[in-house]
A and B are shown apart, each in its own frame.
Chain A
Amino acid sequence: MAEYFVARGLPVPPELRRTPLTDWRRWSAIGVTLAVLYVGVRLLDIDLSRANPQYAGTRIISLLQWDLSILTPQNEFETFWDTAGGLMIVTIFLGVVATAISIVFALPLAFLGARNIMTGNPVASAIYGVARVLFTVMRSIDVLIVVIIFSVIFGLGSAAGVFGLAFHNIGVLGKLYSEAIEGIDPGPPEAITATGATRFQVVWAAVLPQIVNPFISFSIYRLDANVRLAPVLGFVGGGGIGQYLFQTINLFQYNKAGLIIFMIVITVAAMDFASAQIRRRLL
């Protein structure tokens, strides 16, 4: 086959010179991967000798033997909002409120972080840079760490959870929104500018109509993610049902923990399904 190229004095394409089995790059890639895994396993010192299958078996069974008493108030001091069901609802709203707060802040910031809006003068470019760095910083700190920091400020409980989750989410939504703004068709804004409209009118008439759908879609996606994150926040002091789950596990109340975990799974699955349906219909 190579003779076609040789006869015309052309270099032989590499596809004809190599066969997959003799390609040294392929073998070296496999070799490097195996070496990295070997070093990793040795460093981690994975020790299976402490595993106790009999103990684990009984615990797993008790996770499935649900203690339904947590679904009803247990004494005259408790109300519905102290039961697992009440706490689950509180936790869902923790995610909802956090998302709402983050949308309120991310929406205006996103325009400041969109290259195509912030053009024309050095001040605008500088604001653009600051907004972008802000998004990256807010996004790069993991939610759990943010909530731990916020629980120092606000004390343990829902405040730390809501504000921590919102803080992280402003970074995520700000980036998603501003990239949606940067992805618009530049033609309509150009045309509206030519009519003698102000920059604000251009955004209102030619940019907003183009970004409504992506904005709704991203917001629902983050609402879904936040409701999924909310139960975990309780583990680090963010309030809600997570705090209750953490307690029951520490007290070895696996019958209660099992039911709470099941409730979280059902909620997350329902949320996941609903958000997928809404976003599919939107696009």
Chain B
Amino acid sequence: MPALLEIRDLVKIYSRDTRALDGISLDIRRGEFVVLIGLSGSGKSTLLRCINRLVEPTSGQVIFEGNDVTHARGLHLRRIRRRIGMIFQQFNLVKRSSVFANVLAGRLGYRSPWRTIASRPSREDVALAFENLERVSILEKAYVRADALSGGQQQRVGIARALMQQPQLMLADEPVASLDPATSHSVLRYLEEINKTDGITVICSLHFLSLARRYGTRVIALKAGRVAFDGKPAEIDERRFKEIYGEDAVEVEIGVARTAEEQRADEARKLLDPRALSDAATDAAVVERLGPGADR
């Protein structure tokens, strides 16, 4: 079976001296949950953005479902982009617009510019928006302005917006870097769910190795714009870790420190379905099910 995404000798040079990507070659197969790790500045964001051409690569090739992304233009490029969803560290929602409007915006690639301004969203688009809002358990917030939501909720809106594209591939650029540990697990579990249920391939950059081990089926480490490791999460031992992050690095666990009071509160919620709860409760309940050591 051919790979979903092929990357060949990808190079990105920002200015004369900064080679953000220095000859990356990768094959990503359908259904993988790939976690990108590496220090800040190792090229994770640039690699993700070269895949859908938010950043223009200097040389090399990206081939998605047999289409040459690097040389696509105009309509062809937009058709490719709409099959690749993306979520961001800062969520990138239109803050003044409602959650519903933000989610519908994920469908713009399927609508003509004229219909964008002249008509109401189609019945199918609304149905799809409803379905996706429900999927990330945020339907009751549909009418609220996006900036009134918490970080975890905003990221879930981001996921719903990306799902509107009915993508084959989901790019996630440090989706949990501005969230607390409990909320991080909640957001990553939604990504895991769309990966397993819908078979959407995920490429997700993360800072915490513990999260990479818990959610990734494959880990790719970048170091100074080159692939420093590519393999199973379990294969990253002490030596490999120091190769990726440097001699002085110490692994930090994204632990879930909880007070006795919070634990008692969790006990009470234990039997409830997490999906039926409000955001804060959902996050806490997800952590409860995972348990403090579940991500090892």
Contacts and interface: CB of A to CB of B under 8 A. Distances in A.
Interface string A172-190: 0000000000000101101
A191 B86 contact: yes
Contacts of B113: 198, 200-201, 204
Interface of B: 52, 54, 78-86, 88, 90-97, 105-111, 113, 116-117, 158, 161-162, 164-165, 171
Interface residues of A, number: 21
Nearest to B113: A200
22 contacts: A187-B88, A188-B93, A188-B94, A190-B54, A191-B88, A191-B161, A192-B108, A194-B54, A194-B81, A195-B81, A195-B82, A196-B78, A196-B83, A196-B108, A196-B110, A197-B108, A205-B108, A206-B94, A209-B97, A210-B94, A212-B96, A213-B96
A193 interface: yes
Nearest to A205: B105
A253 B82 CA distance: 73
Given A197-B78, A198-B78, A191 B108 contact: no
A212 to B, nearest CB: 8
A137 to B, nearest CB: 32
Contacts of A192: 105, 108
B109 to A, nearest CB: 3
A147 B66 CA distance: 63
Secondary structure call for the A interface: helix
A194 B86 contact: yes
Contacts of A188: 92-95
A190 B90 CA distance: 11
A187 B85 CA distance: 15
Nearest to A186: B92
A209 B96 contact: yes
Contacts, number: 80
B109 A195 contact: yes
Contact of B94 (A196, A201, A209): A209
Contact of B108 (A201, A209, A212): A201
Q: Which of A196, A201, A204 has the most CB of B within 10 A?
A: A196
A196 B81 contact: yes
Contact of A204 (B52, B79, B84, B117): B117
Contacts of B91: 187
A205 B97 CA distance: 9
Which 4 pairs between the two chains have the least Cβ-Cβ distance? A196-B109, A196-B82, A187-B92, A196-B81
Contacts of A196: 78-83, 108-110, 165
A267 B94 CA distance: 40
B52 to A, nearest CB: 6
Given A200-B113, A210-B96, A194 B90 contact: no
A188 B95 CA distance: 9
A159 B156 CA distance: 56
Contacts of B161: 191, 195
Contact of B105 (A198, A200, A206): A206
B65 to A, nearest CB: 14
Contacts of A212: 96
A191 B92 CA distance: 6
Q: Which of A187, A191, A195, A212 has the most CB of B within 10 A?
A: A195
A144 to B, nearest CB: 39
Contact of B95 (A185, A198, A205): A185
B106 A195 contact: yes
Contacts of B78: 196-198
A257 to B, nearest CB: 49
A191 B86 CA distance: 7
A123 B247 CA distance: 49
A247 to B, nearest CB: 50
